Amino acid sequence: MVGRVVAAVLGRGFVVHGYGARWARGCTSGHGISGCSVGSPESFVATGVFFSVAVVVTLAVHVLTGGAV
């Protein structure tokens, strides 16, 4: 249980909202909701990348931990 909490805080808190938001010039919610709704090509690309990376990382963690996390 503690491992899951640490992974959630570090993974989502630091990587996505810290480094990822700076690098992508906005947060995932901002690109996905606001940017895509106004038709921003950059937001469509950023949102696609966010979702693709999330799927790949989730599958990798599942495989590497045998489904424990």
What are the pLDDT digits (tens) for 10-61? Answer: 555 555 555 666 666 667 777 778 888 888 888 888 889 888 988 999 999 9
Tell me the pLDDT tens digit for each residue of 3-13.
666 665 555 55
Domain membership of residue 41 as a residue range: 2-65
Pick the closest to residue 30 from 18, 47, 45 (CA basis).
Answer: 47
Q: For residues 59 and 4, what is the distance between their CA atoms, to the nearest angstrom?
A: 15
Going by pLDDT thresholds of 50, 70 and 90, the confidence category of residue 64 is very high
Q: How many domains does the chain have?
A: 1
Distance from C-alpha of 38 to C-alpha of 44, rounded to nearest angstrom = 10
Question: Who's near 44: CB < 8 A, 6+ residues apart?
Answer: 35, 36
Dist. CA 31–CA 43, nearest whole Å: 5
